[in-house]
């Protein structure tokens, strides 16, 4: 019998709350007799705001405490930004559903009202992401990339100061906060390949909660699941996290035959943008994980292995993670 009351755990940021309320509303409409309660859980990533994420370590900065609450029964379900998730979840937990993905692109917010190509020489761009820094410097080596932390509102306020000419944020987060009007330019994947699973939400619960898994299945979007699975397989094979400038973006389309195809593009680079290895894989969407893994193998064979080895020597030692997140930013 499906539960009549559901406790959903979430971080306390406005974005996390909005995302969780979105999921809660969808569940209430799908199950009219369901009572949904939200429980705010503070994570390590919420507490450390004075250092770049790449200097902290990758051990589930925004999810570990929430997963602990799932495991000990304090909550029934967690709503995550998929790009914050480690590449593997504990064996006793499961990602039960992926609602339809929002816009995966990054967005430029400029106090000058200028797009990326028109920003002045040596413009200062704020981002906490090595992935974004790599691609910005690759596209425009003259740019000065400056670290930027804080929630979305804080970053947008900083974007209006003379410390930055522009900042880069995820389009999905801005949309979910009704702040899409602040966007100066959406950065297409050809210029800025998104983080793994950017724009997607993941619903996590205990693997033995069969009734709950059935209850949330109504929210699972098949195309989003294929895309996220391909990108996360790419991440898992590379064992990269927010200390590694990497990106992957999968798209699903229906062929004339009626079959579903998947295309995944990926890159691994150095933070200075000097070295970048790119690749692409195409195939049946039902082989999403295999395609993500194959793309990672291609990049490793094309020089990404040397980049990763170089980065591993230069990154300060941190506690060995259970698995790595794509980009907790």
Q: Which of 73, 53, 86 lies closest to 9, judged by CA?
A: 73
298 annotated active-site = no
CA–CA distance from 162 to each of 52, 56, 135, 136, 174 (Å)?
20, 27, 23, 20, 22
Report, in angstroms and rounded to the nearest whole number, the Rg of the chain calculated over CA atoms. 19
Can you tell me the distance from the alpha carbon of 165 to that of 111, in angstroms, rounded to the nearest whole number?
6
First to last CA, the chain: 38
The strand order across the sheet containing 185-187 reads: 144-146, 124-126, 166-170, 106-110, 185-187
In the Cβ-directed half-sphere of 157, how many Cα atoms lie within 13 Å? 6
Token output for 56? 């902290």
Task: Indicate which residue of 46, 72, 76, 84 is catalytic.
Answer: 84
Can you tell me the distance from the alpha carbon of 250 to that of 105, in angstroms, rounded to the nearest whole number?
12
Q: 130, 271 in Cβ contact below 8 A? A: yes
Catalytic residues: 84
């Amino acid at each position: 019998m499906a539960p009549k009351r559901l406790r959903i755990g979430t971080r306390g940021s406005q974005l996390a709350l909005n995302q969780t309320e979105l999921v809660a509303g969808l569940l209430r409409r799908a199950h009219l007799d369901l009572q949904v309660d939200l429980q705010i859980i503070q994570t390590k990533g919420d507490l450390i705001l004075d250092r770049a994420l790449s200097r902290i370590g990758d051990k589930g900065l925004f999810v570990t405490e929430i997963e602990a609450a799932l495991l000990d029964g304090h909550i029934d379900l967690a709503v995550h930004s998929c790009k914050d998730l480690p590449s593997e979840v504990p064996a006793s937990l499961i990602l039960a559903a992926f609602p339809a993905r929002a816009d995966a692109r990054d967005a430029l917010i400029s106090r000058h009202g200028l797009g990326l190509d028109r920003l002045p020489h040596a413009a200062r761009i704020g981002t906490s992401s090595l992935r974004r820094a790599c691609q910005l410097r690759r596209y425009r080596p003259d740019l000065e990339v400056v670290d930027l932390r804080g929630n979305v509102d804080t970053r947008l306020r900083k974007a209006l100061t003379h410390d930055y000419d522009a900042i880069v944020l995820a389009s999905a987060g801005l949309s979910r906060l009704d702040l899409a009007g602040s966007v100066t330019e959406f950065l297409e994947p050809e210029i800025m390949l998104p983080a793994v699973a950017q724009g997607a939400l993941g619903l996590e619960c205990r693997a033995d909660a069969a009734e709950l898994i059935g209850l949330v299945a109504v929210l699972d979007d098949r195309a989003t699941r294929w895309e996220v699975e391909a990108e996360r397989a790419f991440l898992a094979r590379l064992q990269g996290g927010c200390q590694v400038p990497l990106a992957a973006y999968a798209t699903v389309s229906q062929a004339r035959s009626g079959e579903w195809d998947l295309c995944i593009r990926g890159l691994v680079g150095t933070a200075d943008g000097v070295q970048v290895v790119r690749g692409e894989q195409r195939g049946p969407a039902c082989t999403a994980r295999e395609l993500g893994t194959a793309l990672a193998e291609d990049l490793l064979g094309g020089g990404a292995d040397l980049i990763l080895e170089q980065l591993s020597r230069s990154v300060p030692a941190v506690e060995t993670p259970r698995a790595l997140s794509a980009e907790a930013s």
